[in-house]
Each structure stands twice: as C-alpha cells, then as structure tokens.
Structure 1
Amino acid sequence: MLDDQSAAEARPAAQPGTPAWPTEYPDAYAVVDVETTGLARDDRIVSAAVYRLDARGDVIDHWYTPVNPQRDPGPTWIHGLTSEMLADAPLFPQIAEEFAERLRGRVLVAHNAVFDWSMIAREYARARLPVPVRQRLCTIALSKELDLPLANHRLETLAAHYGVVQRRAHHALDDARVLAEAFRPSLHLAAAGRIRLPLLACRPLTEWTDSIASPSTTSGASGGRGSRPYAGGWRPSRRRAPCPYPNPGRYEPGKPLVQGMRVAISGDTSVDRELLEDRAVEAGLHIASGVSRLTSLLVTNDPDSGTSKVAKARAFGTPVIDEAAFTQLLREVAPAPEE
C-alpha cells in the first residue's frame, strides 16, 4: 500500500470583493476511484485510491492500495492488474478500516459516483462492516449543473477542459488525482455562482446478494480454474420478460399496489437495487427505467435530491413513497383487474 501524506500549504487570504464561500457547502471531501473485476453485483474491487480534500478542494493527502479480489481480476487490459500482481495484495477486510478512515466525515466524490459507491457499499456489506459515508457527489452531475461545454462526460474530457494531464488512465491513484484536480475548479465555479451542489445520500446495504446473476464457471484466457470469461465483455445481461398485466394507473395513497403498475426507483436503497426490483417483478409490477406520465409510483429515500426522476415525478404529479413503505406494500399486491 502507498500512503503519501503532505501537509496542506498555507492558503492566501481572500482578496477584497471575493464572494464569501457558501456556508452550506461541505467541510471536507474524499475523491475516490476504484478499479474492479467488472460492473456486475458480484464483481469485486481490485484497487482503490482516495485523495482527501479540504472544504475548498485543496489536497490534504492521498492513499492507494491494490486489493486481492479472490477471483479472476477481470478486464486486465483496462486496469492492468493481473492475478499474479494481486496474489500478495491485502483482502478487502484487511484494508477496510484504513479505507474508512479516509472517507470518514467527508463527502465521497467520484466520476459516475453511483458506480464507485455501489462497489464500495457491497464490499463493506460482504465484510459485515459499516462504511462511514453519508453523502456523495458525482462530478458528472456537477458538470451538468455548471453547464460546462463538454463534448461528453468522460473523465478525460473533463480533465482536458481544465488542462489536467492524465498519466495512467484507469489506474485508481492517477484517476483519483486527475479527478481531484478537475474537481477543485468545478467546486470554485459552483461556489462563485452559488450553485447548489448535487449531493446525494449514501445508504449502506442491509440486504444484498451476489447470486442473482450467476457467473460462468468456465475457464477464461486470463484466469485459472473457476474464472469467468471476459473476452466478450463482463456485464451480464438481465433482460426481464414484459409485465403481463396492463397498467391500472397511478398508485393511490392508502390503497394497495395493483399488478401491472409501473414503478420507478431513484437513489440508494438499503436492499440491493436489483433484489428489490426482482421482488417487485415477482409481485406482478412493472419496473420502469424512468418516470413518465404513465408511471404509477416513484420509490425514493431521498425526495429532496433533485434527481431527474424526482423532478419529473413532481412535474407529472406522480406519487412518491420511500423504500420502507414500498416494501410493506409489496407484501400484499392486489391482483390485476379482470378484463
């Protein structure tokens, strides 16, 4: 593991006329990047890096570790980590506390933060350990809030916009460095414009499973016995059969859900998202990827998040309930009305 700490340099005093820093902004950030064996629920972290930043985005220190995933490392052509390189690396439970110490009391910042947070949350759930992260900030969402003139929302495009040079793309430590350097000017631009930061709540998993998408057990080119092939991509397809029931309309508070209702889910859930969706499908509901005028119900634990789904639900007058209420309603879903 690499642990390179450096004291933050003295900051110049604010110049006269400089806008005051927004008092509602967080006090500290942890810019995170994790490399993984793949993108599915049963994939594992193979390396992790954290840049700790102060309230104004200045670097305090940084940290990096490889992680032995106890399985095929997956797309080595992307992250460059082979089974041989990871053989003597620590297991996730062995670095969990040090990793947590880097995150504690800070907002987790990542590019496509939902992915990094989901992988981290699953690793802590497997280790039966708490993760001290309460909020996250996605730099893609922040770029959209700032209306940056970007051709796309890839990390290298954001880096080039701010003149940040990438040295080792898809190496966790360098990706975290690049993002930290790009995040600071974005943060200052947001502060100057008094823009609300797109903060989302992080909800640790209390119920999860790795068994829904069972991986192949055939031998692959880069792994040994029991590995799964990655040559054709590493994200399993989970196509669900169409809901057999017609949409009966919107959910009415105080009444049961009805088979065929279109349900959208936004934000973190304490039950693994795919597991919660599978239970809804088994009950006869239709899981929608977005919110439209036909959506019967939006499930979210963070109704003030300002996500596109929440905004559309408000615009369309779609009923909104939290995960606990939805889970309760799933116990007794009314049958679809006979035609």
Structure 2
Amino acid sequence: MTMTNGDTEQDGRAAEVTEFPFVAVTVQATGIHPTTARLVAVDALTFNEDGEIGEEFHAVLNPGGDPGPHHYHGLTHEQVAEGQRFSQVLRTLNRLLDDRTLVVHNAPRVWGFLVSEARRAMNAAARTNRSRGRGRGRGRRRQRVGHVPKPAAIVDTLASARRQQILLEDTRPAGLALTLGVDAESPVATVERARQSEHETTRETNDMLIDIFFAIRDHGELSSAVPEDLRADRFGLQRSHIRVDAMEAPRPHPNPGPLVPGRNLARGMEVVIAPEVEVDPDVLIEAALKAELVYSEKLTRTTSVVVCNQTSDLRGKAMHAARKDIPLLSDAEFLDAVSRVQSKPGR
C-alpha cells in the first residue's frame, strides 16, 4: 500500500505525541474571566515522563482591544500591539495540545481562555468566509484557522492540591511548588522579577509547572477531566456540566435562610462549596441537588451553608462565610447532613 503525504504526517505526529505525551501551558491575560478579558501571551512546553522537554512555544498576542495593566501580565502596550492574533497561533496550539495530556494550574481559567479564544478566532474566520461566498473577495482562499484544541485529558495542579488536602498559604504555582518541596522562588513580587521580561517569567512558571505535576502526582490522586465533560459558565470559565447545570437550575423552593447550628438542612437552602474540600465538588453538588437544595457559586448573606474542610487560617469563601456568620460544614459533615434534609427547617 502506498503511503500518502497525509499518512506520513499523521504517523510523524503520532510518534511525537508518543515520545512527549504531556504539554504544560501557562497563559497571561488582561483579566480573570474569559468573557470579559483576553489572552495576551501563551507558553507551551511538551514533555515526557523523564521531564525532558520536546517542543517549546511562546507567543505574545494582540487581542485588538484594551491590553490591560502592565503589572498584571508584564507586557507593555507596545509589546501587545506588536503581538500576533490568536488565529495565527491556533493551528500551532492544535498540534501541540491535541491528543496530549494538558497540564495547567487552575483549569477553569486556563482552559476557559484557550477555548474562548479559539472559538472567537473560528467565528471570525467563518464570518469572513461567508462574506467571500456572497461575492466580496470571491476567489480568495478560505480561512482555516484551526479548531478548539483536543487534549486527551486536562490535569489541574491547583485542583489536585485541593483534593489532596494540601493547605496552601499562596495558591499561585510558586506557592504550591514551595509547599510540595519543589525548588522555586517565593511568589511574592520583587523588584528583580519586575525587571524580567514577560517571556522569562511565563516560561519560568511553565517550567515550574512541570516539576509541580510530577511532585503532586507522586503525592496523591490527580484532578483530571476530559474536554467533553466541560463547558463554559457565564464567566467563560470551563466547569463540569454538572456544575454549570446546577448554577442554571431553577429554584423550586423558597430559601429558608442560613442553617441554624444543631438543626437539619431543609429543602431550598442555598449551598456554596469552597475550593478547600477533599471530595470532588461534583459529588457534593449532585448530593445537594438530589436533596432539593440549591447550589450557588456566589456567597451572599442569604447563603445557608458553606462546605469547606479548612477550619483555621480561613481564606476566600470560608473567610467571608465566617464574617457573615454563615455556618461551615466539612464535606463529610455535609454529605451526612443531606441524608437528613427536611421539607421545612427542623431540629
């Protein structure tokens, strides 16, 4: 049988993926939410089980709008203006990410930005191609910018730390690295680091991410997902279908208000889950919905209970719950409590 050029290319790429089955990705953006912010830099490193680097890629991106503050991502307005469009690098990212295990720190955000930017680029190309088909620019080659990347799996080092009950004073990659005993500089800002280029600091973080991956894998179970099980929430963060469905679910019962210590949970109570839990949040969300409780991402004064395993040095949602006198339950306590949910608040 005669081999075609396409067959040869596919075989060659399959060999590359087999030799370097992992890819670490670190991004820089203008903000925290993919719906309102844009990527301005992306760094990718393929690597193997021995930690050897296969291919290196870095690009500064020009989103065509507000470049965001320099101190947030390390790029000047001029550097962003000279950057590439995401559509120009998407096919390269497809080659680097497709079929590999993608390793990121904070998957909802990083994967959310990658998906959001890919879809923007694809939609823009589709609009251009439609206009050419109607006569404007007819005869020009159709734009093919690539597709939403298709990694085999997405490993989240931050979520893995949560599931392994690793207490973090600083949730940034360097904070996790130091907690795991990985050689890293303090994540606290310094004058020396401020003088480094964005390329240097982003690549340094991405190199560190590879070390974190091996260390946290040796420490315990990894938090991993496949792209098909994820979709964007209203902020563009890539969450599980279970979580997004729960956010969008109707509220069939009135909220009885905060849980009174010593009493049972009641239908309609609003549950917020902090990141500091050992049980997969999806398991907790499913249990809450089955008991006719309401799941919410946002903590307010009407929140009934917050699920959190950390009891000291509270941060984030747990800290705000304590300030608002909203009770905290561990994941084990919560799962026990949902088995006794009542139609009305009771003893």
Q: Structure 1 length as normaliser, TM-score? A: 0.53
1:184 aligned to 2:211?
yes
Match of 1:99 in 2: 93
- What amino acid is the match of 2:198? H
Which residue of 33, 43, 65 maps to 2:37?
43
Is 1:201–2:226 an aligned residue pair?
Answer: yes
Query: Are the equivalent residues in 2 in contact too, given 1:69–1:91 (CA < 8 A)?
Result: yes
Maintained 8 Å contact 1:34/1:172:
no
Structure 2, unpaired ranges of 5+? 1-18, 123-146, 187-191, 256-263, 269-277, 293-347
- AA aligned opposite 2:63: P
Residue matched to 2:334? none
Superposed, which structure 2 residues align to 1:5-154 within 5 Å?
28-40=21-33, 41-128=35-122, 129-148=147-166, 150-154=168-172
Q: Is residue 267 of structure 2 the alignment partner of residue 267 of structure 1?
A: no
Q: Where in structure 1 are there 5+ consecutive unaligned residues?
A: 1-25, 213-264, 297-305, 321-339
Q: Distance in 2 between matches of 1:90 and 1:279?
A: 36
Distance 1:314 1:54, change over 3 A: same
Aligned counterpart, 1:222 = none
What is the SS of the residue equivalent to 1:267? strand
TM-aligned CA deviation for residue 162 of structure 1: 1.4
How far residue 157 of structure 1 moved from its aligned partner, in angstroms, is 1.4
Structure 2: how far apart are the matches of 1:63 and 1:156? 21
In structure 2, the CA distance between the partners of 1:310 and 1:204, relative to structure 1 (3 Å rule), is: closer
Higher helix share: 2
Distance 2:238 2:90 in 1: 28
- What are the Cα deviations for residues 119-146 of structure 1, in whole angstroms up to 9, with x where unaligned? 1100111122332224211111223345
Per the alignment, residue 184 of structure 2 pairs with 164
How many angstroms apart in 2 are the aligned matches of 1:162 and 1:286?
49
Maintained 8 Å contact 1:30/1:102: yes
Q: Is the 8 A contact 2:108 2:238 kept in 1?
A: no
The RMSD of aligned alpha carbons is 4.3
Distance of aligned partners of 1:46 and 1:113 in 2 relative to their CA distance in 1, 3 Å threshold: same
Q: Is the 8 A contact 1:56 1:184 kept in 2?
A: no
Q: 2:223 is matched by which residue type in structure 1? A: P
- 8 Å Cα contact 1:47/1:66 also seen in 2: yes
Instruction: Give the aligned residue type for 1:159.
Output: A
Relative distance call for 1:123 and 1:198 in structure 2 (3 A) is same
Give the drift of 1:32.
0.8
How far is 1:84 from its partner?
Answer: 1.7
Identity of aligned residues (%): 20
Structure 1 equivalent of residue 275 of structure 2: none
Residues 286 and 106 (structure 1), Cα distance of their counterparts in 2 relative to 1, 3 Å cut = farther
C-alpha distance in 1 between matches for 2:20 and 2:55: 16
Give every structure 1 segment of 4 or more consecutive aligned residues whose post-TM-superposition deviation is greater than 6 Å. 204-210, 276-279, 283-287
Q: Which amino acid aligns with 2:280?
A: S
Give a deviation string over 1:79-102, Cα, whole Å, max 9, x none: 122332122221110111112212
- Could you say what secondary structure the match of 1:68 adopts? coil
Structure whose alpha-carbon radius of gyration is higher:
2
CA shift at 1:204, angstroms? 9.0
TM superposition score normalised by structure 2: 0.52
Superposed displacement of residue 285, structure 1: 9.1
**1-side partners of 2:53 and 2:162: how far apart?**
24
Please give the secondary structure, in 2, of the residue aligned with 1:311: helix
